[in-house]
């Protein structure tokens, strides 16, 4: 159900773009209007989501950690898994964001012949996610050659390293392969692992199908069906310099690629993909576990009106004496 629906969503998107470009001739709409809408929704949506999370109260530390907390001097603390200082938190966040440390701890639980629960080594998700995310980053950096004039030198470095293999005369980008492999793995695991399949929703499949569509259309353009790259860059730069124009001679495949990227950008803030920003605001990751060393006062505590015993006795002393209740001050 989720798969069919998600596939239909991406299919309809591709059909709509093809129809708009080929039949209705709305090249300007797809090529020059859509990206502005998509980028505005992406940036505005991300800022909105981040501010929303920022305003959410985090009254205390949530020490869901995988290591020994810092306590007595002779007990060795786990300073990266259970940091007690800002530096430790930065280390933990860096490991989380760059190397996906939480996923590395992933295990597979299985019942064996009755009530024997066994935990298995399971690093495939970590590996697949790592491969996909890093490939995606490098692919995006490589694409800057279409978005900058002149092209900065770091883009050439990335291209040079990424494209050191050759097919025929031209570079075969490793990240093109690893990106598609990564997305395919992340998709197949949702198909074939029963538990994962059970919890998978259209919100899980749509981003994967979108990424797969973007990757495949890009690979098709680069390796199989030629596009006029100079014209494509002219279109991209026209959008970026706010003088949009649609050069002649760009095939529909480019518009599909471009349109799907716009769809992904616009969908980003409303989907699970916001984890790009959310990872930075994860309370279980970004707070040092120092609850025992520092007192954390709930920031939105209002001043509570109290009536102390001294004030009480002051008010009722005479009545208490009459009733024979002992008082502290005569």
State the Cα–Cα distance between residues 77 and 65, nearest whole angstrom: 12
State the Cα–Cα distance between residues 167 and 276, nearest whole angstrom: 34
State the Cα–Cα distance between residues 108 and 121, nearest whole angstrom: 7
| Three-class SS state of 164 | coil
State the Cα–Cα distance between residues 148 and 286, nearest whole angstrom: 35
Range in contact with other proteins (rule: CB under 8 A) among 7-15, 89-97, 155-163, 182-190: 155-163
Site map for other proteins, 51-90, x if CB under 8 A? Answer: x-xxx-xx--------------------------------
Question: What are the tokens at 230?
Answer: 């100079």
Q: Does the protein bind other proteins through residue 249 (CB under 8 A)? A: yes
Q: Does the protein bind other proteins through residue 155 (CB under 8 A)? A: yes
State the Cα–Cα distance between residues 110 and 61, nearest whole angstrom: 32
For residue 75, the minimal CB distance to other proteins (Å) is 29
Cis previous bond, 217, omega within 30: no
Site map for other proteins, 170-189, x if CB under 8 A? Answer: x-------------------
Give 206's contacts (C-beta < 8 A, 6+ positions apart): 6, 9, 10, 267, 271
State the Cα–Cα distance between residues 241 and 122, nearest whole angstrom: 47
For residue 159, the minimal CB distance to other proteins (Å) is 7
Q: Does the protein bind other proteins through residue 280 (CB under 8 A)? A: yes
State the Cα–Cα distance between residues 115 and 55, nearest whole angstrom: 45
Q: Does the protein bind other proteins through residue 279 (CB under 8 A)? A: no
Q: Does the protein bind other proteins through residue 32 (CB under 8 A)? A: no
Query: With contact defined as beta carbons under 8 Å apart, do 95 and 79 qualify?
Result: no
Among 4, 15, 47, 196, binds other proteins (CB under 8 A): 47
Among 104, 147, 185, 316, binds other proteins (CB under 8 A): 147
For residue 148, the minimal CB distance to other proteins (Å) is 5
Query: With contact defined as beta carbons under 8 Å apart, do 201 and 233 qualify?
Result: no
Among 150, 194, 303, 326, binds other proteins (CB under 8 A): 150
Report the interface residues with other proteins, using CB under 8 A.
42-43, 46-47, 50-51, 53-55, 57-58, 144-152, 155-156, 159-160, 168-170, 226-231, 233-234, 237-238, 240-241, 243, 247, 249, 251, 277, 280-281, 299-300
């Amino acid at each position: 159900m989720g798969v069919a629906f998600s596939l239909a969503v991406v299919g309809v998107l591709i059909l709509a773009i093809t129809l708009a470009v080929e039949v209705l001739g709305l090249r300007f709409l797809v090529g020059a209007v859509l990206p502005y809408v998509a980028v505005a929704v992406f940036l505005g949506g991300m800022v909105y989501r981040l501010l929303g999370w920022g305003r959410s109260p985090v009254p205390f530390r949530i020490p869901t950690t995988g290591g020994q907390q810092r306590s007595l001097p002779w007990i060795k603390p786990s300073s990266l898994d259970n940091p007690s200082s800002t530096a430790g938190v930065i280390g933990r966040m860096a490991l989380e964001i760059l190397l996906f440390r939480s996923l590395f701890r992933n295990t597979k639980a299985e019942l064996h012949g009755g009530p024997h629960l066994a935990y298995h080594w399971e690093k495939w998700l970590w590996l697949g996610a790592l491969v996909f995310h890093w490939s995606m980053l490098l692919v995006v950096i490589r694409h800057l050659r279409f978005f900058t004039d002149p092209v900065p030198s770091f883009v050439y470095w990335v291209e040079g390293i990424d494209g050191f293999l050759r097919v025929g005369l031209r570079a075969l980008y490793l990240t093109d392969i690893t990106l598609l492999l990564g997305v395919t793995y992340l998709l197949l695991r949702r198909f074939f692992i029963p538990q994962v399949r059970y919890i998978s929703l259209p919100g899980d499949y749509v981003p994967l199908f979108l990424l797969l569509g973007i990757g495949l259309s890009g690979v098709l353009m680069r390796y199989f069906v030629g596009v006029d790259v100079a014209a494509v860059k002219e279109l991209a730069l026209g959008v970026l310099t706010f003088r949009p124009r649609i050069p002649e001679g760009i095939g529909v495949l480019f518009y599909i690629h471009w349109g799907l990227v716009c769809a992904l950008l616009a969908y980003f803030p409303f989907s699970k993909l916001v984890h790009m920003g959310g990872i930075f605001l994860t309370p279980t990751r970004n707070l040092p576990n120092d609850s025992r060393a520092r007192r954390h006062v709930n920031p939105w505590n209002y001043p509570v009106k109290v009536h102390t015993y001294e004030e009480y006795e002051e008010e009722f002393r005479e009545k208490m004496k009459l009733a024979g209740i002992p008082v502290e001050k005569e």
